[in-house]
Protein backbone atom coordinates (compact mmCIF):
# COMPACT_ATOMS: atom_id res chain seq x y z
CA UNK A 1 0.00 0.00 0.00
CA UNK A 2 1.11 3.51 -0.77
CA UNK A 3 -0.62 6.59 0.64
CA UNK A 4 -2.87 8.42 -1.84
CA UNK A 5 -0.60 10.97 -3.57
CA UNK A 6 -0.93 14.68 -2.84
CA UNK A 7 1.59 15.96 -5.36
CA UNK A 8 2.35 14.86 -8.91
CA UNK A 9 4.73 15.42 -11.81
CA UNK A 10 4.14 14.52 -15.45
CA UNK A 11 7.16 13.96 -17.70
CA UNK A 12 6.47 13.62 -21.42
CA UNK A 13 8.79 12.10 -24.01
CA UNK A 14 8.42 11.88 -27.78
CA UNK A 15 6.10 13.80 -30.03
CA UNK A 16 3.95 16.89 -29.58
CA UNK A 17 0.87 14.73 -29.09
CA UNK A 18 2.50 13.33 -25.97
CA UNK A 19 3.09 16.91 -24.78
CA UNK A 20 -0.62 17.58 -25.31
CA UNK A 21 -1.64 14.34 -23.54
CA UNK A 22 0.74 15.21 -20.69
CA UNK A 23 -0.95 18.61 -20.24
CA UNK A 24 -4.37 17.00 -20.19
CA UNK A 25 -3.28 14.41 -17.61
CA UNK A 26 -1.90 17.23 -15.46
CA UNK A 27 -5.21 19.10 -15.72
CA UNK A 28 -7.02 15.91 -14.74
CA UNK A 29 -4.88 15.37 -11.64
CA UNK A 30 -5.18 19.05 -10.68
CA UNK A 31 -8.97 18.74 -10.93
CA UNK A 32 -8.67 15.83 -8.45
CA UNK A 33 -7.06 18.20 -5.93
CA UNK A 34 -3.42 17.14 -6.45
CA UNK A 35 -0.68 19.78 -6.70
CA UNK A 36 1.84 19.81 -9.54
CA UNK A 37 5.58 19.89 -8.70
CA UNK A 38 8.27 21.03 -11.11
CA UNK A 39 10.74 18.48 -9.72
CA UNK A 40 9.97 14.80 -10.33
CA UNK A 41 12.18 13.95 -7.33
CA UNK A 42 9.70 15.64 -4.98
CA UNK A 43 6.41 14.28 -6.30
CA UNK A 44 4.32 11.57 -4.62
CA UNK A 45 3.12 10.46 -8.06
CA UNK A 46 5.28 10.56 -11.20
CA UNK A 47 3.62 9.99 -14.57
CA UNK A 48 6.12 8.96 -17.25
CA UNK A 49 4.39 9.68 -20.53
CA UNK A 50 6.48 7.51 -22.81
CA UNK A 51 7.42 7.14 -26.49
CA UNK A 52 7.91 3.87 -28.34
CA UNK A 53 8.96 5.15 -31.75
CA UNK A 54 12.63 4.10 -31.58
CA UNK A 55 14.47 1.72 -29.28
CA UNK A 56 16.35 4.57 -27.58
CA UNK A 57 13.09 6.34 -26.72
CA UNK A 58 11.75 3.15 -25.15
CA UNK A 59 14.89 2.53 -23.09
CA UNK A 60 14.48 5.90 -21.38
CA UNK A 61 11.49 4.61 -19.39
CA UNK A 62 13.48 2.02 -17.53
CA UNK A 63 16.43 4.30 -16.81
CA UNK A 64 14.02 6.96 -15.54
CA UNK A 65 12.27 4.51 -13.23
CA UNK A 66 15.67 3.56 -11.77
CA UNK A 67 16.52 7.23 -11.23
CA UNK A 68 13.22 7.96 -9.49
CA UNK A 69 13.90 5.20 -6.96
CA UNK A 70 17.43 6.33 -6.11
CA UNK A 71 18.14 7.16 -2.48
CA UNK A 72 15.41 4.85 -1.21
CA UNK A 73 12.53 6.97 -2.47
CA UNK A 74 9.44 5.12 -3.65
CA UNK A 75 7.01 7.48 -5.33
CA UNK A 76 3.97 6.03 -7.02
CA UNK A 77 4.96 5.56 -10.66
CA UNK A 78 2.50 5.58 -13.55
CA UNK A 79 3.75 4.63 -17.00
CA UNK A 80 1.55 6.27 -19.65
CA UNK A 81 1.92 6.76 -23.40
CA UNK A 82 3.02 4.48 -26.17
CA UNK A 83 5.36 2.15 -24.23
CA UNK A 84 2.48 1.53 -21.83
CA UNK A 85 0.29 0.60 -24.78
CA UNK A 86 2.90 -1.64 -26.40
CA UNK A 87 4.30 -3.41 -23.36
CA UNK A 88 1.38 -3.39 -20.89
CA UNK A 89 1.82 -5.93 -18.12
CA UNK A 90 5.45 -6.52 -19.06
CA UNK A 91 6.29 -3.17 -17.46
CA UNK A 92 4.64 -4.17 -14.19
CA UNK A 93 6.54 -7.47 -14.24
CA UNK A 94 9.86 -5.88 -15.13
CA UNK A 95 9.81 -2.62 -13.15
CA UNK A 96 7.06 -3.11 -10.54
CA UNK A 97 5.37 0.16 -11.38
CA UNK A 98 2.02 1.03 -9.81
CA UNK A 99 -0.01 2.15 -12.85
CA UNK A 100 0.17 1.42 -16.59
CA UNK A 101 -2.18 3.46 -18.76
CA UNK A 102 -2.37 3.66 -22.56
CA UNK A 103 -2.84 6.82 -24.66
CA UNK A 104 -6.54 6.14 -25.23
CA UNK A 105 -7.35 5.38 -21.59
CA UNK A 106 -5.71 8.17 -19.57
CA UNK A 107 -9.03 9.74 -18.63
CA UNK A 108 -9.16 6.80 -16.16
CA UNK A 109 -5.92 7.87 -14.47
CA UNK A 110 -7.57 9.06 -11.19
CA UNK A 111 -9.34 5.69 -10.72
CA UNK A 112 -6.16 3.79 -11.52
CA UNK A 113 -4.18 5.86 -9.02
CA UNK A 114 -6.84 5.19 -6.36
CA UNK A 115 -6.67 1.45 -7.10
CA UNK A 116 -2.87 1.50 -6.86
CA UNK A 117 -3.07 3.39 -3.55
CA UNK A 118 -5.27 0.55 -2.30
CA UNK A 119 -2.41 -1.83 -3.01
CA UNK A 120 -3.10 -3.40 -6.40
CA UNK A 121 -1.12 -2.58 -9.56
CA UNK A 122 -3.59 -0.96 -11.96
CA UNK A 123 -3.51 -1.41 -15.72
CA UNK A 124 -5.65 0.03 -18.51
CA UNK A 125 -4.55 -0.22 -22.12
CA UNK A 126 -8.03 -0.44 -23.63
CA UNK A 127 -8.76 1.44 -26.81
CA UNK A 128 -12.47 2.18 -26.22
CA UNK A 129 -14.64 3.44 -29.06
CA UNK A 130 -16.00 6.20 -26.79
CA UNK A 131 -13.41 8.91 -26.76
CA UNK A 132 -11.37 9.95 -23.72
CA UNK A 133 -11.87 13.60 -24.71
CA UNK A 134 -15.42 13.69 -23.32
CA UNK A 135 -14.07 12.78 -19.86
CA UNK A 136 -11.37 15.44 -19.49
CA UNK A 137 -11.73 18.74 -17.62
CA UNK A 138 -12.02 21.98 -19.64
CA UNK A 139 -8.83 23.83 -20.62
CA UNK A 140 -8.14 26.67 -18.18
CA UNK A 141 -4.68 28.19 -18.55
CA UNK A 142 -2.27 27.69 -21.43
CA UNK A 143 0.74 29.48 -22.93
CA UNK A 144 0.55 31.66 -26.06
CA UNK A 145 1.21 28.66 -28.31
CA UNK A 146 -1.04 25.68 -27.59
CA UNK A 147 -1.48 22.20 -29.01
CA UNK A 148 -4.85 20.70 -29.88
CA UNK A 149 -5.21 17.05 -30.87
CA UNK A 150 -7.74 16.68 -33.69
CA UNK A 151 -6.88 13.25 -35.06
CA UNK A 152 -5.11 10.21 -33.67
CA UNK A 153 -3.83 6.94 -34.98
CA UNK A 154 -2.81 5.72 -38.35
CA UNK A 155 -4.04 3.29 -41.02
CA UNK A 156 -1.07 3.70 -43.34
CA UNK A 157 1.14 0.94 -41.94
CA UNK A 158 4.55 2.18 -43.02
CA UNK A 159 6.61 -0.95 -42.54
CA UNK A 160 8.99 0.56 -39.93
CA UNK A 161 6.40 2.22 -37.72
CA UNK A 162 4.78 1.28 -34.40
CA UNK A 163 2.16 4.04 -34.43
CA UNK A 164 -0.69 1.97 -35.93
CA UNK A 165 -0.18 -0.48 -33.04
CA UNK A 166 0.34 2.01 -30.19
CA UNK A 167 -2.14 4.71 -31.18
CA UNK A 168 -4.61 2.49 -33.04
CA UNK A 169 -6.64 3.14 -36.17
CA UNK A 170 -7.11 6.61 -37.66
CA UNK A 171 -9.80 8.47 -35.78
CA UNK A 172 -10.90 12.09 -36.12
CA UNK A 173 -12.44 14.13 -33.31
CA UNK A 174 -15.75 15.79 -34.25
CA UNK A 175 -15.67 19.27 -35.83
CA UNK A 176 -17.74 20.98 -33.10
CA UNK A 177 -15.72 19.51 -30.22
CA UNK A 178 -12.50 20.78 -31.80
CA UNK A 179 -13.84 24.29 -32.49
CA UNK A 180 -15.12 24.46 -28.89
CA UNK A 181 -11.73 23.41 -27.54
CA UNK A 182 -9.98 25.93 -29.79
CA UNK A 183 -12.22 28.69 -28.37
CA UNK A 184 -11.48 27.51 -24.83
CA UNK A 185 -7.74 27.60 -25.60
CA UNK A 186 -8.00 31.18 -26.87
CA UNK A 187 -9.96 32.14 -23.72
CA UNK A 188 -7.21 30.46 -21.69
CA UNK A 189 -4.49 32.58 -23.32
CA UNK A 190 -3.54 30.94 -26.62
CA UNK A 191 -2.76 33.17 -29.60
CA UNK A 192 -1.47 30.31 -31.73
CA UNK A 193 -2.94 26.82 -32.04
CA UNK A 194 -1.14 23.86 -33.56
CA UNK A 195 -3.57 21.20 -34.68
CA UNK A 196 -2.08 17.79 -33.96
CA UNK A 197 -2.53 14.37 -35.44
CA UNK A 198 -0.32 11.44 -36.42
CA UNK A 199 -1.87 12.05 -39.84
CA UNK A 200 -3.42 15.42 -39.18
CA UNK A 201 -4.22 16.13 -42.83
CA UNK A 202 -6.33 12.94 -42.94
CA UNK A 203 -8.71 14.61 -40.46
CA UNK A 204 -12.31 14.44 -41.64
CA UNK A 205 -15.82 14.81 -40.31
CA UNK A 206 -18.56 13.93 -42.82
CA UNK A 207 -17.54 15.74 -45.98
CA UNK A 208 -15.32 18.25 -44.17
CA UNK A 209 -11.55 18.11 -44.40
CA UNK A 210 -8.73 19.77 -42.47
CA UNK A 211 -8.97 22.92 -44.58
CA UNK A 212 -12.61 23.41 -43.46
CA UNK A 213 -11.53 23.06 -39.85
CA UNK A 214 -8.71 25.56 -40.38
CA UNK A 215 -11.11 28.06 -41.97
CA UNK A 216 -13.54 27.68 -39.01
CA UNK A 217 -10.80 28.14 -36.41
CA UNK A 218 -9.45 31.12 -38.35
CA UNK A 219 -12.70 32.94 -37.50
CA UNK A 220 -12.17 32.72 -33.71
CA UNK A 221 -11.57 36.27 -32.42
CA UNK A 222 -8.20 36.62 -30.66
CA UNK A 223 -6.53 33.73 -32.45
CA UNK A 224 -3.64 34.99 -34.56
CA UNK A 225 -1.93 31.87 -35.86
CA UNK A 226 -2.74 28.33 -36.93
CA UNK A 227 -0.30 25.50 -37.61
CA UNK A 228 -0.78 21.77 -38.09
CA UNK A 229 1.43 18.73 -37.85
CA UNK A 230 2.24 15.90 -38.85
CA UNK A 231 1.08 15.38 -42.40
CA UNK A 232 1.31 12.53 -44.88
CA UNK A 233 2.01 13.48 -48.52
CA UNK A 234 -0.91 11.38 -49.77
CA UNK A 235 -3.42 13.34 -47.67
CA UNK A 236 -2.31 16.75 -48.94
CA UNK A 237 -5.57 17.74 -50.68
CA UNK A 238 -5.99 20.65 -53.08
CA UNK A 239 -8.35 22.24 -50.52
CA UNK A 240 -5.56 22.26 -47.94
CA UNK A 241 -3.02 23.56 -50.43
CA UNK A 242 -5.43 26.35 -51.37
CA UNK A 243 -5.85 27.27 -47.69
CA UNK A 244 -2.12 27.99 -47.59
CA UNK A 245 -2.73 30.54 -50.32
CA UNK A 246 -5.56 32.53 -48.72
CA UNK A 247 -5.93 31.88 -44.96
CA UNK A 248 -3.78 34.60 -43.46
CA UNK A 249 -3.53 33.04 -40.00
CA UNK A 250 -2.28 29.73 -41.45
CA UNK A 251 1.47 30.01 -41.00
CA UNK A 252 3.78 29.43 -43.98
CA UNK A 253 5.33 26.26 -42.61
CA UNK A 254 4.72 22.68 -43.66
CA UNK A 255 6.14 19.60 -41.95
CA UNK A 256 5.82 16.92 -44.60
CA UNK A 257 7.94 13.84 -43.86
CA UNK A 258 9.30 11.94 -46.84
CA UNK A 259 11.65 9.50 -45.00
CA UNK A 260 13.75 8.68 -48.09
CA UNK A 261 14.50 10.11 -51.52
CA UNK A 262 14.68 6.67 -53.14
CA UNK A 263 11.51 5.41 -54.81
CA UNK A 264 12.64 1.80 -54.18
CA UNK A 265 13.08 2.38 -50.46
CA UNK A 266 9.80 4.33 -50.30
CA UNK A 267 8.13 1.26 -51.79
CA UNK A 268 9.76 -1.05 -49.23
CA UNK A 269 8.58 1.38 -46.52
CA UNK A 270 5.02 1.13 -47.93
CA UNK A 271 4.81 4.91 -48.22
CA UNK A 272 2.50 4.64 -51.29
CA UNK A 273 4.18 7.49 -53.12
CA UNK A 274 7.41 7.89 -55.05
CA UNK A 275 10.14 10.52 -54.99
CA UNK A 276 8.72 12.47 -57.94
CA UNK A 277 5.18 12.49 -56.52
CA UNK A 278 6.58 14.20 -53.42
CA UNK A 279 8.58 16.77 -55.37
CA UNK A 280 5.60 17.59 -57.62
CA UNK A 281 3.42 18.02 -54.54
CA UNK A 282 5.87 20.53 -53.07
CA UNK A 283 5.82 22.45 -56.36
CA UNK A 284 2.04 22.77 -56.03
CA UNK A 285 2.35 24.04 -52.45
CA UNK A 286 5.05 26.53 -53.42
CA UNK A 287 2.92 27.74 -56.31
CA UNK A 288 0.31 29.11 -53.84
CA UNK A 289 2.74 30.07 -51.05
CA UNK A 290 6.21 30.76 -52.46
CA UNK A 291 7.74 31.67 -49.07
CA UNK A 292 6.61 28.47 -47.32
CA UNK A 293 9.21 26.88 -45.02
CA UNK A 294 9.42 23.14 -45.55
CA UNK A 295 10.32 20.59 -42.94
CA UNK A 296 10.65 16.81 -43.07
CA UNK A 297 11.60 13.59 -41.33
CA UNK A 298 14.19 11.15 -42.66
CA UNK A 299 15.22 7.62 -41.80
CA UNK A 300 18.68 6.41 -42.85
CA UNK A 301 19.71 2.76 -42.98
CA UNK A 302 16.31 1.21 -43.70
CA UNK A 303 16.90 -2.49 -44.60
CA UNK A 304 18.24 -2.76 -48.15
CA UNK A 305 19.24 0.93 -48.43
CA UNK A 306 22.19 1.03 -50.83
CA UNK A 307 24.66 3.87 -51.28
CA UNK A 308 22.72 4.77 -54.40
CA UNK A 309 19.42 4.92 -52.50
CA UNK A 310 21.09 7.16 -49.95
CA UNK A 311 22.46 9.39 -52.71
CA UNK A 312 18.84 9.80 -53.86
CA UNK A 313 17.96 11.04 -50.37
CA UNK A 314 20.80 13.59 -50.47
CA UNK A 315 19.75 14.79 -53.92
CA UNK A 316 16.14 15.15 -52.78
CA UNK A 317 17.34 17.26 -49.85
CA UNK A 318 19.29 19.43 -52.32
CA UNK A 319 16.23 19.77 -54.55
CA UNK A 320 13.89 20.79 -51.70
CA UNK A 321 16.05 23.04 -49.52
CA UNK A 322 14.44 22.30 -46.14
CA UNK A 323 14.17 25.07 -43.56
CA UNK A 324 14.27 22.43 -40.83
CA UNK A 325 14.33 18.64 -40.65
CA UNK A 326 14.59 15.67 -38.32
CA UNK A 327 16.68 12.64 -39.20
CA UNK A 328 17.01 9.28 -37.50
CA UNK A 329 18.85 6.00 -37.81
CA UNK A 330 16.47 3.18 -38.61
CA UNK A 331 15.50 1.31 -35.44
CA UNK A 332 13.80 -2.07 -35.84
CA UNK A 333 10.59 -2.14 -33.82
CA UNK A 334 9.17 -5.47 -32.61
CA UNK A 335 6.01 -6.47 -34.46
CA UNK A 336 6.55 -4.25 -37.52
CA UNK A 337 7.09 -5.82 -40.97
CA UNK A 338 10.49 -4.16 -41.45
CA UNK A 339 11.86 -5.73 -38.25
CA UNK A 340 12.17 -9.06 -40.05
CA UNK A 341 13.43 -7.71 -43.39
CA UNK A 342 16.76 -8.95 -44.73
CA UNK A 343 19.73 -6.78 -45.79
CA UNK A 344 20.19 -4.87 -42.57
CA UNK A 345 22.48 -1.89 -42.96
CA UNK A 346 25.57 -2.16 -40.71
CA UNK A 347 25.67 0.29 -37.77
CA UNK A 348 28.86 2.02 -38.96
CA UNK A 349 27.31 2.76 -42.37
CA UNK A 350 24.15 4.08 -40.72
CA UNK A 351 26.24 6.40 -38.53
CA UNK A 352 28.16 7.70 -41.49
CA UNK A 353 25.01 8.29 -43.57
CA UNK A 354 23.30 10.07 -40.70
CA UNK A 355 26.30 12.40 -40.37
CA UNK A 356 26.30 13.20 -44.07
CA UNK A 357 22.56 13.80 -44.10
CA UNK A 358 22.64 15.99 -41.01
CA UNK A 359 25.47 18.05 -42.48
CA UNK A 360 23.37 18.69 -45.60
CA UNK A 361 20.23 19.49 -43.58
CA UNK A 362 22.19 21.79 -41.24
CA UNK A 363 23.66 23.64 -44.20
CA UNK A 364 20.18 24.18 -45.67
CA UNK A 365 18.73 25.33 -42.35
CA UNK A 366 21.51 27.92 -42.03
CA UNK A 367 21.00 29.03 -45.62
CA UNK A 368 17.27 29.45 -44.95
CA UNK A 369 17.96 31.50 -41.80
CA UNK A 370 20.54 33.67 -43.57
CA UNK A 371 18.12 34.32 -46.42
CA UNK A 372 15.57 35.60 -43.84
CA UNK A 373 17.85 38.45 -42.73
CA UNK A 374 16.41 41.76 -43.90
CA UNK A 375 12.82 40.47 -43.80
CA UNK A 376 10.22 42.13 -41.61
CA UNK A 377 7.83 39.76 -39.89
CA UNK A 378 5.69 39.30 -36.78
CA UNK A 379 6.97 37.15 -33.96
CA UNK A 380 4.88 35.60 -31.20
CA UNK A 381 6.72 36.09 -27.90
CA UNK A 382 6.82 32.79 -26.02
CA UNK A 383 9.36 33.15 -23.19
CA UNK A 384 12.22 35.21 -21.75
CA UNK A 385 15.63 34.85 -23.41
CA UNK A 386 18.92 34.30 -21.59
CA UNK A 387 20.12 37.93 -21.63
CA UNK A 388 18.57 40.71 -19.54
CA UNK A 389 15.63 42.32 -21.34
CA UNK A 390 15.69 39.68 -24.03
CA UNK A 391 12.61 37.73 -25.12
CA UNK A 392 12.30 34.75 -27.43
CA UNK A 393 9.58 34.45 -30.03
CA UNK A 394 8.75 32.46 -33.15
CA UNK A 395 8.66 33.79 -36.68
CA UNK A 396 5.91 32.68 -39.09
CA UNK A 397 8.48 30.18 -40.45
CA UNK A 398 8.92 28.69 -36.95
CA UNK A 399 12.38 30.15 -36.45
CA UNK A 400 13.39 31.20 -32.93
CA UNK A 401 13.94 34.96 -32.84
CA UNK A 402 15.63 36.91 -30.00
CA UNK A 403 14.41 40.43 -29.46
CA UNK A 404 15.28 43.05 -26.83
CA UNK A 405 12.52 45.26 -25.46
CA UNK A 406 9.65 45.55 -23.00
CA UNK A 407 7.64 42.74 -24.56
CA UNK A 408 5.38 40.37 -22.67
CA UNK A 409 4.77 36.69 -23.27
CA UNK A 410 1.91 36.46 -25.79
CA UNK A 411 2.74 39.75 -27.54
CA UNK A 412 2.85 39.83 -31.31
CA UNK A 413 5.80 42.01 -32.20
CA UNK A 414 6.77 43.26 -35.61
CA UNK A 415 10.51 42.87 -36.06
CA UNK A 416 13.14 43.26 -38.69
CA UNK A 417 15.35 40.20 -38.79
CA UNK A 418 18.90 41.55 -38.55
CA UNK A 419 21.20 38.56 -37.99
CA UNK A 420 21.13 34.78 -38.31
CA UNK A 421 22.90 32.18 -36.16
CA UNK A 422 22.83 28.43 -36.86
CA UNK A 423 19.57 27.81 -34.96
CA UNK A 424 18.10 31.23 -34.19
CA UNK A 425 17.85 34.81 -35.43
CA UNK A 426 18.01 38.27 -33.97
CA UNK A 427 15.17 40.71 -34.52
CA UNK A 428 14.79 44.43 -33.86
CA UNK A 429 11.31 45.47 -32.78
CA UNK A 430 9.32 47.97 -34.79
CA UNK A 431 5.78 48.27 -33.42
CA UNK A 432 4.51 46.34 -30.40
CA UNK A 433 0.96 45.24 -29.89
CA UNK A 434 -0.12 44.23 -26.39
CA UNK A 435 -1.71 40.82 -25.87
N1 LIG B 1 13.19 3.93 -36.86
C2 LIG B 1 13.68 5.19 -37.03
N3 LIG B 1 12.90 6.26 -37.18
C4 LIG B 1 11.56 6.07 -37.15
N5 LIG B 1 10.53 6.94 -37.28
C6 LIG B 1 9.38 6.24 -37.17
N7 LIG B 1 9.64 4.94 -36.97
C8 LIG B 1 10.99 4.80 -36.96
C9 LIG B 1 11.86 3.70 -36.82
N10 LIG B 1 11.40 2.45 -36.65
C11 LIG B 1 10.72 8.37 -37.54
C12 LIG B 1 10.05 8.78 -38.85
C13 LIG B 1 8.83 9.51 -38.39
C14 LIG B 1 9.32 10.12 -37.09
C15 LIG B 1 8.25 10.57 -36.15
O16 LIG B 1 10.10 9.12 -36.51
O17 LIG B 1 10.92 9.65 -39.53
O18 LIG B 1 8.36 10.46 -39.31
FE1 LIG C 1 6.30 8.33 -29.86
FE2 LIG C 1 4.70 7.87 -31.91
FE3 LIG C 1 3.76 7.52 -29.51
FE4 LIG C 1 4.28 10.01 -30.37
S5 LIG C 1 2.73 8.56 -31.17
S6 LIG C 1 4.83 9.16 -28.42
S7 LIG C 1 6.11 9.60 -31.65
S8 LIG C 1 5.41 6.36 -30.50
List pLDDT tens digits, range 242-268. Answer: 999 999 999 999 999 999 999 999 999
Instruction: Let me know: does 194 contact 228? Beta carbons within 8 Å.
Output: yes
Checking if the pLDDT of 274 tops 60, the result is: yes
CATH code for the part of the protein at 7-124:
3.40.50.12160
Beta partners for residue 47, in sequence order: 10, 78
Higher pLDDT residue, 435 or 340?
340
| DSSP states of 38-71 | S-GGG-SEEEEEE--SSHHHHHHHHHHHHHHTGG
Cβ–ligand 2 distance for 158 under 6 Å, the answer: no
Beta partners for residue 227, in sequence order: 194
Quick one: pLDDT at residue 314? Answer: 98
Q: Per-residue confidence at 141, pLDDT binned at 50, 70, 90? A: confident
Which ligand 1 atom lies nearest to the CA of residue 15?
15
Domains of the chain, residue spans:
7-124, 133-372, 376-433
Closest CA to 196 of 394, 392, 14: 14
Q: Per-residue confidence at 431, pLDDT binned at 50, 70, 90? A: low
Instruction: Give the pTM.
Output: 0.95
Instruction: Let me know: does 279 contact 320? Beta carbons within 8 Å.
Output: yes
Dihedral sign of CA atoms 125, 146, 169, 263 in order: negative
Instruction: Let me know: does 162 contact 333? Beta carbons within 8 Å.
Output: yes
Two domains, one topology: 7-124 and 376-433? no
Ligand 2 pocket test, pick from 166, 171, 196 with the greatest ligand atom count within 8 Å of Cβ, gives 166
Checking if the pLDDT of 303 tops 80, the result is: yes
Checking if the pLDDT of 114 tops 90, the result is: yes
Q: Is 377 annotated as ligand-binding?
A: no
Q: Per-residue confidence at 1, pLDDT binned at 50, 70, 90? A: low
Checking if the pLDDT of 433 tops 70, the result is: no
pLDDT, average across residues 397-417: 96
Which ligand 1 atom lies nearest to the CA of residue 333?
10
Checking if the pLDDT of 14 tops 60, the result is: yes
Cβ–ligand 2 distance for 167 under 6 Å, the answer: yes
Cβ–ligand 1 distance for 53 under 6 Å, the answer: yes
pLDDT, average across residues 27-50: 96
Q: For 120, left (φ over 0), alpha (ψ -120 to 50), or beta?
A: beta
Q: Per-residue confidence at 140, pLDDT binned at 50, 70, 90? A: confident
Query: Among 128-142, 312-326, 340-354, 363-377, which stretch is predicted with the lowest mean pLDDT?
Result: 128-142
Cβ–ligand 2 distance for 80 under 6 Å, the answer: no
Q: Per-residue confidence at 121, pLDDT binned at 50, 70, 90? A: confident
Instruction: Let me know: does 75 contact 104? Beta carbons within 8 Å.
Output: no
Give, as one character, the DSSP assignment of residue 250.
B
Euclidean distance between CA atoms 252 and 184, whole angstroms: 25
End-to-end Cα distance, the chain: 48
Contacts of 256 (CB under 8 A, 6+ apart): 231, 233, 236, 278, 281, 282, 294, 295, 296
**How many of the other CB atoms lie within 10 Å of CB of 128?**
11
Instruction: Let me know: does 251 contact 398? Beta carbons within 8 Å.
Output: yes
Cβ–ligand 1 distance for 354 under 6 Å, the answer: no
How far does residue 165's CA lie from ligand 2's centre (Å)? 11
Contacts of 259 (CB under 8 A, 6+ apart): 158, 265, 266, 269, 271, 297, 298, 299, 302
Angle, in degrees to the nearest 10, between helices 347-372 and 307-320: 10
Which secondary-structure segment (H or E) carries 364? helix 347-372
Cβ–ligand 2 distance for 17 under 6 Å, the answer: yes
Provide the mean pLDDT of the chain: 95
Q: Percent of the chain having pLDDT more than 90?
A: 92
Euclidean distance between CA atoms 149 and 147, whole angstroms: 7
CATH 3.80.30.20 fits 133-372, yes or no: yes
Checking if the pLDDT of 428 tops 60, the result is: yes
pLDDT, average across residues 157-169: 94
Quick one: pLDDT at residue 422? Answer: 80
CA distances from 394 to 256, 357, 379, 409 (A): 20, 26, 5, 11
Q: Which fold has domain 376-433?
A: OB fold (Dihydrolipoamide Acetyltransferase, E2P) (2.40.50)
pLDDT, average across residues 184-189: 96
Checking if the pLDDT of 269 tops 60, the result is: yes
Q: Per-residue confidence at 66, pLDDT binned at 50, 70, 90? A: very high
Looking at the CA of 232, which ligand is closest?
A: 1
Euclidean distance between CA atoms 91 and 83, whole angstroms: 9
Amino acid sequence: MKPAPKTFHVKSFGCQMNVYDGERMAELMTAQGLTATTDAGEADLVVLNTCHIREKATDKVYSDIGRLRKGGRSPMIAVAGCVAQAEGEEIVARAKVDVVVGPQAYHNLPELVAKAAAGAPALDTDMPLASKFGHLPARRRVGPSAFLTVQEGCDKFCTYCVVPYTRGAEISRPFDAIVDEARALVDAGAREITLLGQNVNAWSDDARGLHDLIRAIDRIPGLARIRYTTSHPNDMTQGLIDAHGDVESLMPYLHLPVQSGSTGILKAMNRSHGRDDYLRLLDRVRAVRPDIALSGDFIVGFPGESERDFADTLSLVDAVGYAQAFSFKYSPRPGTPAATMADEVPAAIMDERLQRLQAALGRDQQAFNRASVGRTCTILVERPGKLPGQMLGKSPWLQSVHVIGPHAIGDLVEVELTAAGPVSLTGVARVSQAA
